[in-house]
Structure 1
């Protein structure tokens, strides 16, 4: 069975674009922070899966926000015989992964974690820029 997993941080975020155009038989959607790995629909999805199923996730940052959680989730699912596909990164993990697949999961997961760490810094810089622009205009 092909199943989609969608996570949004707020109820205002759009879930449609995450798996737009991808055929799945069922979708599990969580509204929660990516830092929180005790997400009800994620837990339900993990319990639901069986050998030969596939989960499709838009991108790694929708699944986990740090490398340790990402590895654990992928390992948990592939250990149950589930194929894990990250659409944006075009990566597939089956549990019979090569050293290259392990490296790609680690590197791409590290980039996801790094990008997440930069977001607050960018937001602070953007706010400072707006303040400077307002002061300059005054």
Structure 2
């Protein structure tokens, strides 16, 4: 668990940045696997990666353009940025490569990835605040 010096509002240590990036990566893969399973497309590794790559690309571009490594666990702006960037760029990449982009899928992606990408950041922020209150 990060110390209070590593809380979302401060500069992150490299290990914390790597953990946040890995969490985003794993949660985006989880989103793709759940979606494939819901549509009975199977959960082969190649299948999950083919569904996930546009969103992983969107997350990577967002991380790089907005330099999210500076405060990777902050709900705002990092969490919101990676969530919206993942969906927007991911959908654009899907459209450019001839994959399906329909309104219901966009809505499901927005909601699911909000829960995943914002959810763990919110939980971490709450835990850190509770620990800080107990110490005070």
Q: What's the TM-score once normalised by structure 2's chain length?
A: 0.36
Q: What's the TM-score once normalised by structure 1's chain length?
A: 0.35
Q: Which has the higher strand share?
A: 1
* Higher alpha-carbon Rg: 1
Higher relative CO (Cα under 8 Å, sequence separation at least 6) belongs to 2
Q: Which has the higher helix share?
A: 2
